[in-house]
Structure 1
């Protein structure tokens, strides 16, 4: 199994060299056989771990994030010839900055993605029924989402206005409900 893990990491490193900043690889077109699991965990706080140790090189986690895909059986790092299952404790990305650009909410993720909230990239807020804590997220690509940090959620709440009984924010033409007016998100 170690040989497959090493081979998988080597293949990903080679892919990074080939990509050279040209955008995201077409992981949706790649359908290799499942090669097994690799001991990579994306913790709930966004830290990427390999065999129990934090991956300290941001370039490497960025590379991994570009070949990450969520399939019905979980998250995988995918190359044209390999598919390795990893563990994601919450969501694979964190939205860490927010700015308003001409009426559009623009987020940056911890892995270098820039996402403009809108119909194709919605903001969704689920509320934990037991704690009533909001859990905001932003669609990044495919079936990959970013957890919106608490501080950014507070920024969204500050920008929000009541719309049909819901505290809502606008990004371009899209409107996203953050929660009911007067329900602790104020």
Structure 2
């Protein structure tokens, strides 16, 4: 059964702002893509598979610090990730994805269904051509790993409960599970892979 969007996108955005204390929605971010400082350092920063941030083996306990650092995060074309300022950049080792997609919502915009993904740092994006959804299938375990592009080359991996919600929204066509958002169609795998 396909979930039908019942909420207008503007109403959903207001609801997300009310229930997620650090919800960001649309926000102005520093122009990290324009900054190319010469000084680069590796100080033991990492983002682990569960979305937690670490420095030299110690987890960041202050969410405000993670939120701040997430605004100056950049992934370059060579696959390297950095915290970037106009004066220096710091290497960030990323175990899987930069963020975790913790919430999926279905709304309507211009009479089209819109899938909204909210991350562990409270940033929300609408799945679209600009924020595509992709699913990698592990060749050995056949386990799906769903990702959505948040900004630049930074992605969020959907948490398992969020992915299950996405599967519930999917339509099956010729053995393939498909979801639609902003008039775009995205494959989330085959029926046999999700069984």
Q: If the length of structure 2 is used for normalisation, what is the TM-score?
A: 0.80
Partner of 1:184: 193
Per-residue deviation, residues 39-76 of structure 1 (Å, max 9, x unmatched): 11101111101121111111110111110111215111
Q: Deviation at 1:22?
A: 6.1
Pick aligned residue for 2:107 from 97, 101, 125: 101
Q: Secondary structure at the match of 1:45?
A: coil
CA 1:105–1:129: 2 relative to 1, 3 Å: same
Report the Cα offset of residue 164 of structure 1.
4.3
Between the aligned partners of 1:133 and 1:100, the Cα distance in structure 2 is: 24
Q: Give the count of matched residue pairs.
A: 165
Structure 2 unaligned regions, length at least 5: 1-25
**Structure 1 CA distance, aligned partners of 2:136 and 2:79?**
22
SS at match of 1:105: strand
Deviations 1:90-139 (A, max 9, x none): 11100011111212001111112111001110110010001100010010
The corresponding residue for 2:51 is 46
User: Which residue matches 2:129?
Assistant: 119
Match of 1:35 in 2: 40
Select the residue among 81, 86, 97 that pairs with 2:87: 81
Q: Assess, with a 3 A threshold, how the Cα gap between structure 1 residues 145 and 22 changes in structure 2: closer, same or farther.
A: closer
**Following TM superposition, where does structure 1 have runs of at least 4 consecutive aligned residues deviating by more than 4 angstroms?**
none
Give the drift of 1:168: 0.6
Q: Does 1 or 2 have the higher relative contact order (CA < 8 Å, sep 6+)? A: 2
Q: Match of 1:115, SS?
A: strand
Residue 69 of structure 1: aligned partner: 74
Q: Structure 1, unaligned stretches of length 5 or more?
A: 1-20
Q: In the alignment, is residue 23 of structure 1 matched against residue 23 of structure 2?
A: no
- How far 1:184 sits from its partner (Å)? 3.2
Question: 2:39 touches 2:87 (CA, 8 Å); kept in 1?
Answer: no
